[in-house]
A and B are shown apart, each in its own frame.
Chain A
């Protein structure tokens, strides 16, 4: 066999087959819903969530929880935290603003969606591609990832509230909580990964 005839093997893995995971049923309305706020402990995540919660209470009469924390951003939440969050009609998770915390934030969201709790993940613009890559490869391409400006860690709590919790963010949250799964898949599939698709394995 000459060099020209040699079979060259593929070093890439086959694309993952869709697991058939679907998004949890969304809310009929944000009004009167019990919304859980879930911080992954990243700097300012709790201030961000509280402001979003204030807006949901003011604009929609939603019932918003105190911030629930997991132990550390670089791992999954404990089961006891998931159990606590499963009591809510929907959960808002903040936020991905680094690599490992983004991955584990998505993991937490997948656990809640599989348990039937609709979730919204907040992620700064630098990390939305990573988050959505994981969502698409774990069978949840429509999981709503609401993009916020980066960076956020070095802002004051007041600046987080005024500069990051924008009307556009609130609109995206409301849509993410109330649109049906098919609509969310249309809205989010490839939203952050398409531009990088030539680079992604």
Chain B
């Protein structure tokens, strides 16, 4: 028997992202299924946009192609499952002209077990699990969910994060409780938190020596006329990935993570006057789109980028250096955290 192929000749079809892929052989796929302790014929249910369901075997084939190790597959499944929650709005995210795409933040003991990078260059190259877990999600969104750049994934520009974006929280260097504990899980749980994000924007502050100093720079970076969260603020969860150094400076002033979020809510604002008739808010000819939270405010009022002080998502990541990152949300999307079910 020659090379057996289902439905597609691997030798002639380009890979989903244009980079070389690993052949999803039966032996490799079976090892992935065993690592996650799932049955090959089971599925997570239908994926938008295609409304097609893929078996675990098919999902594993995509993770193999993306270059994952078998031990990463439980993380991939937990992340895929999390993005299928209705409040995540995968239906809108995969089709949007915006550059937003799912990002995975991993917490808990699995970070060390799999050596997922939450330190220096965590959002960049150099770590196999970081590079391939996010890539596996992208493959599934393309091969199963039907998000084809051009016809159905309508991103105007896309972005490098759409090749796949997965990081760990740098829990060891965080002065606060980890993201998954804040979101209701035990410290010993391993979890994924999925968020919609565009490519990260730097928050450079080399001179601030106080919480208010660092967070003033962060809040200014987060409140710009071009960000989705400035307009789709009703459900937005703007995300701030603080570096360990910035986090330490903030915590030294006695700030809890709730205080950080409150500062962002209070200070990451655009004045109503500046906001009107920009971006996604038009009052000029009696037509929608409107900005419901802003419309009743006076001109000089600051319009927040989310509905409440509880909405910003804050975690610690990165290595040495006085930089943090703003991860602007799609806006009409809520972060979802799920326990990673199985580790072998």
Residues of A participating in the B interface, judged by any CB pair closer than 8 Å: 1, 4-16, 39, 41-47, 69, 71-75, 98-100, 102-104, 107, 126-127, 129-130, 133-134, 137-138, 156-157, 193, 196, 199-201
B146 touches A104 (CB 8 A): no
Given the contacts A130-B49, A200-B146, A72 and B332 also touching, CB distance less than 8 Å:
yes
B247 at the A interface (CB under 8 A): no
A43 touches B25 (CB 8 A): no
Q: Return the contact of A46 from the options B93, B150, B287 (Cβ within 8 A).
A: B287
B20 at the A interface (CB under 8 A): no
Chain B residues within an 8 Å CB radius of A129: 151-152
B232 touches A74 (CB 8 A): yes
Question: Which residues in chain B, 159-176, are within 8 Å of chain A measured between CB atoms?
Answer: none
**Distance between Cα atoms of A126 and B95 in the complex (Å):** 12
B154 touches A137 (CB 8 A): no
Chain A residues within an 8 Å CB radius of B89: 74-75, 100
B24 at the A interface (CB under 8 A): yes
Residue of B nearest to A70 (CB): B288
**Distance between Cα atoms of A199 and B151 in the complex (Å):** 8
B18 at the A interface (CB under 8 A): no
B148 touches A200 (CB 8 A): yes
Residue of A nearest to B5 (CB): A8
A130 touches B154 (CB 8 A): yes
**Distance between Cα atoms of A72 and B27 in the complex (Å):** 47
Given the contacts A5-B3, A7-B4, A11-B62, A134 and B49 also touching, CB distance less than 8 Å:
yes
Question: Which residues in chain B, 26-81, are within 8 Å of chain A measured between CB atoms?
Answer: 26-27, 29, 46-54, 57-58, 60-62, 65
A138 touches B51 (CB 8 A): yes
Among A73, A99, A102, A133, which residue has the most Cβ atoms of chain B within 10 A? A99
B288 touches A45 (CB 8 A): yes
Interface of B is mostly: loop
Among A10, A46, A73, which residue has the most Cβ atoms of chain B within 10 A? A10
Given the contacts A10-B8, A201-B143, A16 and B292 also touching, CB distance less than 8 Å:
no
Chain A residues within an 8 Å CB radius of B3: 4-6, 8
Chain A residues within an 8 Å CB radius of B215: none
B282 at the A interface (CB under 8 A): yes
Question: Which residues in chain B, 212-257, are within 8 Å of chain A measured between CB atoms?
Answer: 232, 234-235
Chain B residues within an 8 Å CB radius of A45: 287-288
User: Closest approach, in angstroms, between the C-beta of A194 and any C-beta of chain B?
Assistant: 11
Q: Return the contact of B146 from the options A73, A126, A133 (Cβ within 8 A).
A: A133
B300 at the A interface (CB under 8 A): no
A75 touches B92 (CB 8 A): yes
B301 at the A interface (CB under 8 A): no
Residue of A nearest to B40 (CB): A9
Chain B residues within an 8 Å CB radius of A44: 287
A16 touches B287 (CB 8 A): no
Among A13, A45, A98, which residue has the most Cβ atoms of chain B within 10 A? A13
Q: Return the contact of B153 from the options A9, A11, A42, A99 (Cβ within 8 A).
A: A99
B311 at the A interface (CB under 8 A): no
B82 at the A interface (CB under 8 A): no
User: Closest approach, in angstroms, between the C-beta of B60 and any C-beta of chain A?
Assistant: 8
Residue of B nearest to A130 (CB): B152
User: Closest approach, in angstroms, between the C-beta of B309 and any C-beta of chain A?
Assistant: 22
B143 touches A13 (CB 8 A): yes
**Distance between Cα atoms of A10 and B62 in the complex (Å):** 9
**Distance between Cα atoms of A144 and B46 in the complex (Å):** 24
Given the contacts A13-B143, A137-B50, A104 and B288 also touching, CB distance less than 8 Å:
no
Chain A residues within an 8 Å CB radius of B1: 5
B58 touches A16 (CB 8 A): no
A133 touches B98 (CB 8 A): no
6 nearest A-B pairs in the assembled complex, by CB-CB distance? A99-B154, A100-B92, A10-B6, A13-B52, A74-B332, A99-B95
Chain B residues within an 8 Å CB radius of A133: 49-50, 146, 151-152
